[in-house]
A and B are shown apart, each in its own frame.
Chain A
Amino acid sequence: MKELFKLAVVYRFELGAILLFGIGFMNLLLQKNLIRKIIGFNVMDSSVFLFLASQGYIEGRIAPVLTNGSMQAATYVNPIPAGLVLTGIVVSVSVSAFFLALVQRLYLKYGTVEFDEIMLLAKKEAE
Chain B
Amino acid sequence: MTTVFELLLILSLVVCAVAASFSKRLLTAVVIYMAYSLVMTVIWALLQSPDLAITEAAVGAGVTGILFVLTLKKIHALKGTKDE
The interface of chain A, by Cβ under 8 A from chain B, is 9, 12-13, 16, 19-20, 23-24, 26-27, 31, 33, 35-36, 38-40, 42-43, 46, 49-50, 53-54, 56-57, 61-65, 77, 82, 85-86, 89-90, 93, 96-97, 100, 103-104, 107, 113
The interface of chain B, by Cβ under 8 A from chain A, is 3, 6-7, 10, 13-14, 17-18, 20-21, 26, 29-30, 33, 36-37, 40, 43-44, 47-52, 55-56, 59-60, 63-64, 67-68, 70-72, 74-75, 77
CA distance A94 to B52 in the complex (A): 17
Q: Residues of B contacting A26 with CB < 8 Å?
A: 21
Also in contact, A50 and B33, with CB within 8 A (given A90-B55, A104-B71): no
Whether A100 and B40, one on each chain, are in contact in the complex, defined by CB atoms closer than 8 angstroms, is no
Partner of A63, one of B20, B30, B50, B68: B50
Q: Residues of A contacting B64 with CB < 8 Å?
A: 42, 93, 96-97
Chain B interface, DSSP helix/strand/loop, else mixed: helix
